[in-house]
Every structure is written in structure tokens, then in C-alpha cells.
């Protein structure tokens, strides 16, 4: 039996307000399909810097539903780059971001926020069904959990991260079939480190990754063109810039895992 999150103080459900005509210009983009987008459900793993620069654009495009998972709390040091305000300090990130997204909506988007880590949600048997997941966390154990869980459910995942010096970042698309996150980073399953508090963080590189994440979602849901599954961009120079298709790695044991 799935847990009833609806009445819990650690969850929230909101609804956007439709604005007729707001989607007019984007419907003119080749390959974009508003009807498909309006039926789509995107699940965001994390509600910090990376998701703060993806989720607002998703609801401004009229996504049908968006779910946020994060057990962290807003701190004053988050306000320089995350979609939070002074009133949100001390509150759960998923709940606070859900509130911030509601006025950004152009459609009757269903917004859900849960004060849970992905691993906790999986352990509780939560309903994590969606059309696309975005993994915007800062640790590899959760990336691995997301890769395995959603691959077994035939759900694509968009992974994104930025470097420790906030100079460059990447987006990797794990589709329903084909290469997974371990094919890109073979040692990821052996890395259980979590980042140290106080690492550099700034908004500009997060905005770049957020834009690529949303574009990736578009290509997975609609017919917008994409010729890559891995994209990297740097700020200071072009040394990290790249666009390629990562192949499936022979012997990748990660692909054999399924939901428990």
C-alpha cells in the first residue's frame, strides 16, 4: 500500500492557474508539441540549485505535472542561486520550491513537493511514476539509485551536475534503452562521497545546466531535434565544451539491476 502523502506536513500539492495565450510563441518552435507537454509529468530529484533553474521553465512551458523530492532545508547561503527567498529560510526545499513555482505557471500544472530523498521515497514504496526524471543532486549514491530505479521502469533520466569550482557542468541523458550513467562514469558505483559544505556555488553555471536540462526534456517528450546524449559546457574557456553520443559500455553491470 502506498503512503498517503497528501495530508502530511512534509508534503504539498498545488495547482497552477491557466493563462490563455501564454504558450503561443513556443508552439511555433519546430518539433515542439504543446498537447504532449501539457500531458507530461516530470519528476525532479533534488530541489536545490540545478532544479531551481529547470523547474520554473518547465512550468512556464505548461508541463502537466511536476513532482519535487528533497529532504534538505533552505539556508541563507542558498539565496544567491536557488529559487528561494528570505521567507523560505528554515523550510524544506521541496515544499518551498513548490510554493515558488505556483505563480510561474501558465497552465493548470499539478505541483507536488515531498520532503524526502529519492532513496527514502523508493523504500516507502512511493508512487514515482512519471514521463521523465531529472536528477539534479550533488552525490553519486543518489545518481546511481536514480539510474537503476528509473531504468527498470523504462523511464528516461536527465542527469546534470556542475564542477566543484563552479566553472563547468554537464548534462547526460539516460534514455529508456542504451547507455546508463555508469557507462559514462564507470567508477560511479564505488563513490559514496557527499560534497563538503561550503563548496563554491554561483548562479551562472547553474542557469546553463538548467537550460540544457529543459531542452533535454523537450527532446524526450516532443520532436525537438537532438544529436547528443552528453553535453558539457565551461565558463572560463572552451576546454570543457563538448557534444557527443556516449555509447553503451560492454560489461556494464549497472544495466542489469532492477527495482527491489
d(CA 66, CA 11): 13
Per-residue pLDDT band for 143 (boundaries 50, 70, 90) equals very high
Pairing between β-strand 168-174 and β-strand 230-234 as defined by DSSP bridges: antiparallel
Provide the mean pLDDT of the chain: 91
Q: What is the pLDDT of residues 184-228, one digit of tens each?
A: 999 898 887 777 666 778 999 999 999 999 999 999 999 999 999
Q: What is the pLDDT of residues 223-245, one digit of tens each?
A: 999 999 999 999 999 998 999 99
pLDDT value of position 253: 66
pLDDT value of position 5: 43
Give the E-state strand segments of the chain in sequence order.
11-15, 41-45, 65-69, 110-114, 132-135, 157-162, 168-174, 230-234, 242-244
Answer whether residue 170 shows pLDDT above 80: yes
For 92, which DSSP code? B
Answer whether residue 259 shows pLDDT above 50: no
Percent of the chain that is helix, strand, coil (3-state, to 5): 35, 20, 50
d(CA 19, CA 134): 26
Q: How far is CA 122 from CA 98, 178, 216, in A?
A: 21, 23, 25
What spatial distance separates the first Cα and last Cα of the chain, rounded to whole Å?
A: 16
pLDDT value of position 9: 58
d(CA 91, CA 73): 5
User: Can you list the alpha helix ranges (DSSP code H) found in the chain?
Assistant: 34-39, 49-52, 55-60, 93-101, 118-123, 140-152, 181-184, 203-221
Smallest CA-to-CA distance from 180 within 212, 213, 157, 160 is with 157
Answer whether residue 256 shows pLDDT above 60: no
What cell was used for 86?
528570505
Q: What is the pLDDT of residues 86-120, one digit of tens each?
A: 999 999 999 999 999 999 999 999 999 999 999 99
pLDDT value of position 176: 95
pLDDT value of position 29: 95
Answer whether residue 44 shows pLDDT above 90: yes
Smallest CA-to-CA distance from 181 within 255, 73, 108 is with 255
Answer whether residue 258 shows pLDDT above 70: no
Amino acid at each position: 500500500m502506498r503512503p498517503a502523502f497528501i495530508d502530511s506536513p512534509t508534503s504539498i500539492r498545488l495547482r497552477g492557474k491557466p493563462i490563455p495565450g501564454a504558450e503561443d510563441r513556443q508552439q511555433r518552435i519546430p518539433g515542439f508539441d504543446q498537447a504532449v507537454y501539457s500531458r507530461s509529468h516530470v519528476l525532479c530529484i533534488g530541489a536545490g540549485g540545478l532544479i531551481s533553474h529547470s523547474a520554473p521553465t518547465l512550468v512556464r512551458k505548461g508541463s502537466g505535472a511536476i513532482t519535487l523530492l528533497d529532504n534538505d532545508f533552505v539556508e541563507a547561503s542558498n539565496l544567491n542561486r536557488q529559487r528561494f527567498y528570505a521567507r523560505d529560510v528554515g523550510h524544506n526545499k521541496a515544499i518551498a520550491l513548490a510554493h515558488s513555482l505556483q505563480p510561474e505557471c501558465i497552465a493548470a500544472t499539478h505541483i507536488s513537493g515531498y520532503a524526502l530523498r529519492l532513496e527514502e521515497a523508493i523504500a516507502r514504496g512511493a508512487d514515482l511514476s512519471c514521463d521523465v526524471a531529472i536528477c539534479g543532486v550533488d552525490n553519486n549514491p543518489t545518481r546511481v539509485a536514480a539510474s537503476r530505479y528509473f531504468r527498470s521502469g523504462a523511464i528516461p533520466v536527465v542527469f546534470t551536475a556542475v564542477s566543484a569550482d563552479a566553472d563547468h557542468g554537464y548534462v547526460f541523458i539516460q534514455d529508456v534503452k542504451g547507455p546508463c550513467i555508469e557507462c559514462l562514469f564507470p567508477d560511479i558505483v564505488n563513490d559514496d562521497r557527499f560534497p563538503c559544505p561550503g563548496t563554491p556555488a554561483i548562479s551562472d553555471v547553474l542557469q546553463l545546466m538548467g537550460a540544457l536540462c529543459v531542452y533535454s526534456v523537450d527532446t524526450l517528450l516532443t520532436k525537438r531535434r537532438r544529436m547528443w546524449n552528453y553535453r558539457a559546457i565551461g565558463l572560463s574557456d572552451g576546454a570543457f565544451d563538448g557534444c557527443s553520443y556516449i555509447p553503451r559500455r560492454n560489461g556494464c553491470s549497472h544495466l542489469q539491476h532492477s527495482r527491489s
